[in-house]
Amino acid sequence: MEVVIVPDSAAGGELIAEAMAELLRSKPDALLGVATGSTPLPVYEALSAKVRASEVDASRARICQLDEYVSLPYGHPESYRSVVLREVVEPLGLTDASFMGPDGTADDVGAACLAYDRALAEAGGVDLQLLGIGTDGHIGFNEPCSSLASRTRIKTLTQQTRQDNARFFDGLDEVPHHVITQGIGTILEARHLVLLATGEVKADAVALAVEGPLSALVPASALQLHPHATVVVDEAAAAGLKLADYFRATYAAKPNWQGL
């Protein structure tokens, strides 16, 4: 695992957007896995800016979703399908033909989960999966004690996650209890995992994920199992890292050709 400490969220966004652009330059139809929440927005803004400036051609990029609420009506503005279309797909100049996600409105949610896991594999697998981290250490919507081998499936949100996400809805009661999420085993199949965490509210979760034991109690610690995992944190989110100086020195000495 590589840990990169950046001054602020804009720098993190630029760094990851450039890694995505570099990937698209060598593989124009790369499958980019994207996350929702506030944290990744600087990544999407920086990548869209690169497309507008013709620094990268994203016209053949494919975008896939990490997770989804169950039971929100189709087209609900806070369904993750709507969020990803609004924040990623449209700003990149793509249409929903370039987009794939699980069906949170399906009558048979179990079948929708299996279908999405299969669709990801049939699409050739995710090339780069961007992740955020929940304050309880979740990735996607894999809440604490999710199996480290889990596949895409239905999960029940913790009260903490529902409270954290209530700001996107008209109050806590509106936040669904159930979600579909790529499993931890599914996420680990992506070729490159990039987790972005910013702000002091994420410092404890980041420290446990990066330096704590591998544990289902901290789902993000599963990144320790991945051969190419990059954790990008701002100074505030890095505050709990014992090895922060080592991470800084390592990144400062990194050859340019290596990329993220």
Q: Which residues of this chain interact with ligand GLP, rule CB under 6 A?
A: 35-39, 66-67, 132-134, 140-141, 161, 165
CB of 132 to ligand GLP, least distance (A): 2
d(CA 256, CA 260): 9
Enumerate the β-bridge partners of residue 235.
none
Find the shortest distance in angstroms from Cβ 55 to ligand GLP: 26
From 103, 143, 164, 234, the catalytic residue: 143
152 Cβ neighbours under 8 A, 6+ residues apart? 102, 113, 114, 116, 117, 120, 180, 181, 182, 183, 186
CB of 234 within 8 A of CB of 8?
yes
Q: How far apart are CA 83 and CA 75, in angstroms?
A: 10
143 assigned to active site: yes
* Choice between 56 and 205, CB closer to ligand GLP: 205
- C-beta closer to ligand GLP: residue 48 or 161: 161
> Which is closer to ligand GLP, CB of 12 or CB of 212?
12
Q: Which residue in the list 14, 18, 127, 138 is annotated as catalytic? A: 138
Cβ atoms within 10 A of the Cβ of 21, count? 18
Place of tokens 């499993």: 183
Query: Rounded distance, CA 121 to CA 144, Å?
Result: 25
Task: Supply the minimum distance, in Å, between the C-beta of residue 57 and ligand GLP.
Answer: 27
Q: Which is nearer to ligand GLP, 56 or 175 (CB)?
A: 175
Q: What are phi and psi of 62, to 5 degrees?
A: -120, 140
68 is catalytic: no
Catalytic (active-site) positions:
67, 136, 138, 143
